[in-house]
Amino acid sequence: MVGGGPGAFIGGSHRIAMRLDDRYQLVAGVFSRDRDKSLAAAREFGISEDRVYPDYETMATREAEREDGVDAVAIVTPTDSHYKIAKRLLEAGLNVICDKPLCLTVAEAKELLTLAEKGGLILCLTHNYSGYAMVRHAARLVRNGSLGEIKIVQVEHASGWAAKLLEKQGHTQAAWRMDPALGGEASVLYDLGTHAHQLARFITGLEISEVAAELSKVVAGRAINDNANLLLRFTNGARGTLWASMAAVGNEHGLRIRVYGDRGSVCWNQEDPHHLLFSPIDGPPQILAQGAEWLSADAARWTRAGLGHPEGFFEAFANLYTEVADALLAKAEGRPVAKAELGFPDASDGVKGVAFVEAAMRSYAAGGVWTALETN
Amino acid sequence: MVGGGPGAFIGGSHRIAMRLDDRYQLVAGVFSRDRDKSLAAAREFGISEDRVYPDYETMATREAEREDGVDAVAIVTPTDSHYKIAKRLLEAGLNVICDKPLCLTVAEAKELLTLAEKGGLILCLTHNYSGYAMVRHAARLVRNGSLGEIKIVQVEHASGWAAKLLEKQGHTQAAWRMDPALGGEASVLYDLGTHAHQLARFITGLEISEVAAELSKVVAGRAINDNANLLLRFTNGARGTLWASMAAVGNEHGLRIRVYGDRGSVCWNQEDPHHLLFSPIDGPPQILAQGAEWLSADAARWTRAGLGHPEGFFEAFANLYTEVADALLAKAEGRPVAKAELGFPDASDGVKGVAFVEAAMRSYAAGGVWTALETN
Amino acid sequence: MVGGGPGAFIGGSHRIAMRLDDRYQLVAGVFSRDRDKSLAAAREFGISEDRVYPDYETMATREAEREDGVDAVAIVTPTDSHYKIAKRLLEAGLNVICDKPLCLTVAEAKELLTLAEKGGLILCLTHNYSGYAMVRHAARLVRNGSLGEIKIVQVEHASGWAAKLLEKQGHTQAAWRMDPALGGEASVLYDLGTHAHQLARFITGLEISEVAAELSKVVAGRAINDNANLLLRFTNGARGTLWASMAAVGNEHGLRIRVYGDRGSVCWNQEDPHHLLFSPIDGPPQILAQGAEWLSADAARWTRAGLGHPEGFFEAFANLYTEVADALLAKAEGRPVAKAELGFPDASDGVKGVAFVEAAMRSYAAGGVWTALETN
Amino acid sequence: MVGGGPGAFIGGSHRIAMRLDDRYQLVAGVFSRDRDKSLAAAREFGISEDRVYPDYETMATREAEREDGVDAVAIVTPTDSHYKIAKRLLEAGLNVICDKPLCLTVAEAKELLTLAEKGGLILCLTHNYSGYAMVRHAARLVRNGSLGEIKIVQVEHASGWAAKLLEKQGHTQAAWRMDPALGGEASVLYDLGTHAHQLARFITGLEISEVAAELSKVVAGRAINDNANLLLRFTNGARGTLWASMAAVGNEHGLRIRVYGDRGSVCWNQEDPHHLLFSPIDGPPQILAQGAEWLSADAARWTRAGLGHPEGFFEAFANLYTEVADALLAKAEGRPVAKAELGFPDASDGVKGVAFVEAAMRSYAAGGVWTALETN
């Protein structure tokens, strides 16, 4: 693991995700740029000192050399460092599990994609919401035709977490996310918009071809725009909107998607993740619950407990990790490792995500005109 | 009443709205262009034959002449005829209660506004959702500062009513609404979009200054676009989106609004109209229920029963009618009749509504560019 | 109308219910024991002075004598007076619409039932919740076998309206309802329990054969018990509970029922009355919405607007009034008037309701033992 | 661990709960009475063969002897074996984490309690729902007086899991739970009722002093009663009901509680576990969400992710395990280990749970009379 020292929320989530299904052991890492902090974290995690490295470059070299070197490295650092770390790890022949977004530019993302492909390496991008059982089921309903042709997609990741001026109130995470130099002018899109974008792609199996974007600022005194509304055009002609916000006061995490086809619709809300509302055109809306006997194998595969035993954020995260473990095992055993129809996001999804942000920012800079996503 | 003969849903709604608080008597009308049907309807409504007129022009003349002539005339015909009927009635000095939208062009709407103003006449536009008690309370929360400065507005009137190709299946109302010649290319905006637009204005007290619009077609074989997604800019700098649809399969009526300020937010859903979710920035979200003791006078004024006794669509409609009755009485008694801070929509709102549709259609025609609403 | 003068909530509800479908005219009444108040009310309602009577006995006599006498009389007085008023009206040959509960003892109730039957008179008991379209649909689902054999019934009318000691705070309605001399020791059962009891009977088509009851007091200083929990046994062997409360703080009106059969279940909540949750054993739970095309004729009959246009408390009340109007018309035209399979509650239901309260009070007095309902 | 071999759902839940916070290592066990199965499970769990024991007696002896013996043993076998296993382990001086219910009789439960107390041993009873952060918060609201004096408790654990005759359809778990010889006549109370009972006690801090019980059978052909409705009396005079069911068709897990005091109420539903509805008497109902800044330390302590990141069944389970780890550590370090005000359930709770079942069965046998819980 690179990053994820004391107090880093997302590092803790990755570690829980590793442990949940008992498919990983955390054995090496660089948990902080501060050596003492890194060692302290390592002790807490039960890692022997000789595998606590001074920097990711050293870790890449040494772990690649070891016979018992790590199977994969998780990158849980701030976004601006993802590219250089992932690049070095891939170049060393190591599989990577990278927090989202993959990086900051399409050029970087494509380079990582190429490195992974050439090296035959796994690069999992932890858009963890793709791991929810009911998201998998929604994606299956689309693919088996239950919704007909997709026509409208309304997706939002509109959180209220930064509805106050936290960055001036000693909130570390807010400080870097709201700093144009660190989180970027497009922080709300990189951080939240890419989750919404990926969720829409994952469920519909469609690409967003063009966006028209409007950004705005909710919290006075903030250095960046903290709110974004986008119109969407999909490759098949479907239309929709995407709303990303850090400052929708009163909202919890605010990730929700509604997909309408000409034969049915689905609605999924991350705050009630074990349910999915499915409305076929010829009958009443149905409440599909995780664990119910009439769900697809895609949902059943990622259900540990069963009906009425809610699985949440960490279980969804763990689902990706466990899928990656399956892929790592297959690779180790020489079996082919193709991208699954409904599997964990990878570098190709990362390219699309960054292209989405870039297109949105170009659209906004140009006054909101329709702008194509470009991955070249 | 003009229109509203047998089978016309909206005419029946107006009549129930009249009766609910016992403030009106229906005494004259032209209920159909077919004289026999008109007379049959009149018999059903208990109206004497001498006040069933062959056409609205005759009714305007005769009722204006009578000493016991009507206090107001309700127009419940298809949209394309509103202008000419309202014009004739206003010219005859009659007060008007007109179904929405007011008419099809800003020019027409302004003419009606001018006629009403010059004549000192009441013209109520039945955007009936403005009549809900909890919508009134939401508007009050905005005005008393509970939400702070408004920053984001997400409003949608996305119905599933025409998710099938009803117009080819003998559905009368669908037939005219989907006919470009009768309902207009912008039917989805005139019919549903103006409700959403009015609701956003009513609650926030703000105007929408610019829109960027995208229209699309959900149902194959339909002559018009049945879906619209818009980006919104408000006069105070707030941003938002508006979604209007006839074909969101699985949705019921689909009218919902969320308004976020920098101090709080409200969420209201017409399918649960007696509740309002209010989230202040410094405390947990609150479920405000119609009839609760801590609501504003604006909500209490329009609550007949009380906590836990749901009032719905017809009560909201009746609220407008009763407000108009109060205004008619004030006028009859020579008291001043100014537009209330939170009162029934009138011709000035009708102008804004039509301007909204026109701006959206211009934006769409121009490829989705930001387009100002013009009321001149 | 007898009762329902100024400030009497329930009288106003009855009058709205009369007007909603335009099937009634209010033409006579005794609106208060205070002649001046009664006349003032009559003026407000537009009733000519000669039909405002000094007392119900006079009204019974005079209206029965008139050729254009009333078709029916609504009784909206406090419970303890229902029996004597209804008796006098029935004896005069007048049809009656009586607020619930019918009266205070089975003996009285049976006498009224007999009078109505012998006289061929209609006596509608306004358990208005039976009028909701989705309650009708629930009853239809039971009768068409969609739930299989009924096994469990959980019903509650647990309101929070009197969670404060209102009767000591100048609250008129609370004062009489909490006074053992006026509302009776069993007020919570007469007032709320009978609604729950009737709702369970109406939907299931079953009778409650035995109860075991526990009463308790929530609000300190109150003269009567304001809370009741009951175990239920039904004629077919089904089991369940009934909870009636005036003092469940935080609850709104709190009327809700869940019925489980061996093939499916339904859940209905009066605070969301236009929806019904139906869970068949072999598929996912379905959200049935008033106005949807797949509902029964029983629901469609009582739907004025349609999908997504909420109808509430007053519409449900009006449904009973309109059903009675149909029955009155049939009677006037000499057509047979049998109790409908799913129609308005009548005196026979009133007998059952009072028997339920009596059994519960006997059970409680005996320490909570199982006690049979007795209607003899 | 004793029990929890392949296919045993609850064993898997315990293992996830151990791992989630990285506070445990599974190092020894008897996973099946079949030695080969036990060894196969051990291999899967990464346990060395020398610590896979032929039976629990051997494990107790050997692990107690080892210097590096286990800190605690989890018992995840069917209920009827809990007593003898727990007894043997406690006698060997081992701490125990036992799945619920503790055992089948009060006599057994008290013996285990005494053994634990005398030995200074920890015995955690995994009523896992007590571990939810929002359940902790509810308990805190009661204790800090936010609800005033508790007056009404409505609790239910009414699942639909066995609404079909699963025990005749090859469903292993159903087979033993529905077998009077194995699961007992009172299976629905032992299995589900004790969870509801414990939840009510945990949140209110009150004991149930008396019950009046009615059992019934939903599924034809079943050997035992699968449904139970109880009236409750609490030590402080509060009243309530408890519903336990295996066969409430359409329900998911069906665990829900509502607690009403004279100053406020709370409602918690295990299917939406990260929310709690709190209704103070002097203001609107509030939606309290896990991770919100205004929650108690009791909730914050058990929140890993934060607002809008749902934590579910496994996290609640893990909370108990982690609390036990804290207690084990304290004990190992010689610090005092007292029962926490709001901490994991222990043997004393197990005694109460079994006393509850026994009282209910006595009440039912006696025709539903009020019956006191007896722990002597």
pLDDT band at A264 (very low <50, low <70, confident <90, very high): very high
Q: Please choose, from the candidates C130, C111, C113, C131, the residue with its C-alpha nearest in 3D space to the C-alpha of residue C122.
A: C113
Q: Does D274 touch chain A (CB under 8 A)?
A: yes
Average pLDDT taken over every residue of chain D:
96
Lowest mean pLDDT among B252-266, C4-18, C306-320: C4-18
Please indicate whether, in this complex, the C-beta atoms of A308 and D254 are within 8 angstroms of each other: yes
Residue D100 pLDDT > 90: yes
pLDDT beyond 80 at C6: no
> Tens of pLDDT along A142-192?
999 999 999 999 999 999 999 999 999 988 888 888 888 877 789 999 999
**What does the alpha-carbon distance between residue A316 and residue A295 come to, in Å, rounded to a whole number?**
17
pLDDT at C314 over 90: yes
How many residue pairs bridge chain B and chain D with CB atoms within 8 Å of each other? 30
Question: For chain A, which chains pass the contact test of at least 3 CB pairs under 8 Å?
Answer: B, C, D
Half-sphere exposure (CA, 13 Å, Cβ side) for D197?
A: 34
CA distances to C251, C252, D278 from B287, rounded to whole Å, are 12, 11, 10
**Which has the minimum average pLDDT: A310-324, D124-138, D159-173?**
D159-173
Query: Contact at 8 Å (CB) between D126 and D14?
Result: yes
The full DSSP string for D145-183 is TTT-SEEEEEEEEE--TTSS-GGGTT-HHHHHHT-TTTT
Q: In this complex, is the C-beta atom of A237 within 8 Å of any C-beta atom belonging to chain B?
A: yes
Coil/strand/helix, residue C25 = coil
* Residue A150, min C-alpha distance to chain B (Å): 9
User: How many Å apart are CA C121 and CA C117, to the nearest integer?
Assistant: 6
Q: pLDDT, tens digit, for every residue of C45-66?
A: 999 999 999 999 999 999 999 9
Query: Helices C133-143 and C313-332, interaxial angle, to 10°?
Result: 70
Compute the average pLDDT of residues D287-301. 97
Contact between chains at C229 and D218 (C-beta distance less than 8 A)? no
Question: Does B221 touch chain D if contact means CB atoms closer than 8 Å?
Answer: no
Q: How far apart are CA D69 and CA D28, in angstroms?
A: 9
* Number of other residues whose CB lies within 10 A of the CB of residue D339: 11
Averaged pLDDT, D72-86 = 96
B interface test, pick of D265, D278, D286, D296 with most B CB neighbours within 10 Å: D286
The predicted-structure confidence for D249-270, as pLDDT tens digits, reads as follows: 999 999 999 999 999 999 999 9
| CA pseudo-torsion sign D75, D81, D83, D86 | negative
Task: Look at residue D267 in the predicted model and tell me its pLDDT.
Answer: 98
Q: Would the CB atoms of D310 and A22 count as touching at under 8 Å?
A: no
Give the integer Cα–Cα distance in Å for C152 and D249: 10
Q: Which two tokens stand for residue C53?
A: 């009577």
Closest by Cα among D149, D298, D305 to D234: D149
Dihedral (C-alpha) A194, A196, A200, A201: value to the nearest 10 degrees?
A: 10
Q: Provide the pLDDT for residue A178.
A: 87
- What's the confidence (pLDDT) of residue D175? 86
CB contact under 8 A, D283 and B289: no
| B304 touching C (Cβ < 8 Å) | yes
Q: What is the pLDDT of residue C173?
A: 81
Q: With contact defined as beta carbons under 8 Å apart, do D79 and D69 qualify?
A: no
pLDDT number for residue A116: 97
Q: Do B20 and C314 touch (CB under 8 A)?
A: yes
Helix (H, G, I), strand (E, B) or coil at B153: strand
Q: Do the chains contact at A164 and B281, CB–CB below 8 Å?
A: yes
Q: Report percent pLDDT > 70 for chain D.
A: 100
* Burial zone of B121 (CB within 10 Å; 0-12 exposed, 13-18 middle, 19+ buried): buried
D210 touching chain C per CB within 8 A: no
Residues of B in contact with C22 (CB under 8 A): 15, 19, 45-46
Our CA-based measurement puts residue D351 at a distance from the nearest CA of chain C, in whole angstroms, of 26
Distance, in Å, from the CA atom of C86 to the CA atom of C123, rounded to the nearest integer, reads: 9
User: Region C153-171: what's the mean pLDDT?
Assistant: 95
Residue range C19-37: mean pLDDT, rounded: 95
pLDDT value of residue A180: 85
State the Cα–Cα distance between residues D286 and A123, nearest whole angstrom: 43
Q: Do D22 and A45 touch (CB under 8 A)?
A: yes
Residue B244 tokens, joined: 């209007």
Q: Min CA distance, B351 vs chain C (Å)?
A: 26
Tell me, yes or no, if B314 comes closer than 8 A to chain C by beta carbon.
yes
Q: Which residues contact D318 (CB under 8 A, 6 or more apart)?
A: D16, D17, D18, D20, D21, D131
Q: Which of C134, C137, C281, C287 to mutate to test the interface with A (most CBs of A within 10 A)?
A: C287
**Does C161 contact B at CB distance below 8 Å?**
yes
Which residue of A252, A255, A309 is in closest CB contact with D313?
A: A309
* Residue of A146, A287, A288 to mutate for C, most C C-beta atoms under 10 A: A287
| A84 Cβ contact partners less than 8 Å away, ≥ 6 residues apart | none
pTM over 0.95: yes
Per-residue pLDDT of chain B (376 residues; tens, 9 = 90+): 999 987 778 899 999 999 999 999 999 999 999 999 999 999 999 999 999 999 999 999 999 999 999 999 999 999 999 999 999 999 999 999 999 999 999 999 999 999 999 999 999 999 999 999 999 999 999 999 999 999 999 999 999 999 999 999 988 888 888 888 877 789 999 999 999 999 999 999 999 999 999 999 999 999 999 999 999 999 999 999 999 999 999 999 999 999 999 999 999 999 999 999 999 999 999 999 999 999 999 999 999 999 999 999 999 999 999 999 999 999 999 998 888 999 999 999 999 999 999 999 999 999 999 999 999 8
Give the pLDDT score at B239. Answer: 98
Q: What is residue D9's predicted lDDT score, i.e. its pLDDT?
A: 80
Contact D253 A308 (CB under 8 A): yes
Contact predicate A299/A133, CB 8 Å: yes
Chain B residues close to A240, C-beta within 8 Å: 229
pLDDT, averaged across chain C = 96
Residue with tokens 């369940």: C240
Tell me the C-alpha distance between C349 and C112, whole Å: 11
Share of chain C above pLDDT 70, in %: 100
* Residues of chain D contacting residue C164, judged by C-beta atoms under 8 Å apart: 281
* Tokens read off for B209: 């200054």
More confident residue, D7 or D97: D97
Is A273 in CB contact (< 8 Å) with chain B?
Answer: no
Residues of C in contact with A288 (CB under 8 A): 284
CA distance B216 to B227: 5
D123-146 pLDDT, tens digit per residue, is 999 999 999 999 999 999 999 999
pLDDT of residue D41: 94
D286 in contact with B, Cβ within 8 Å: yes
Distance of CA D182 to the CA centre of its chain: 19
State the pLDDT confidence band at C82, using cuts at 50, 70 and 90.
very high
Rounded average pLDDT over A23-32: 96
Q: Is some CB atom of chain B closer than 8 A to the CB atom of C253? A: yes
Query: Which tens digits make up the pLDDT trace of C234-293?
Result: 999 999 999 999 999 999 999 999 999 999 999 999 999 999 999 999 999 999 999 999
Q: Do D260 and C249 touch (CB under 8 A)?
A: yes
Q: How many CB atoms lie within 10 A of CB C119?
A: 15
Q: What is the token pair recorded at A14?
A: 């990755």
Q: Which residues of C are less than 8 Å from D216 in CB distance?
A: 151-152, 237-239
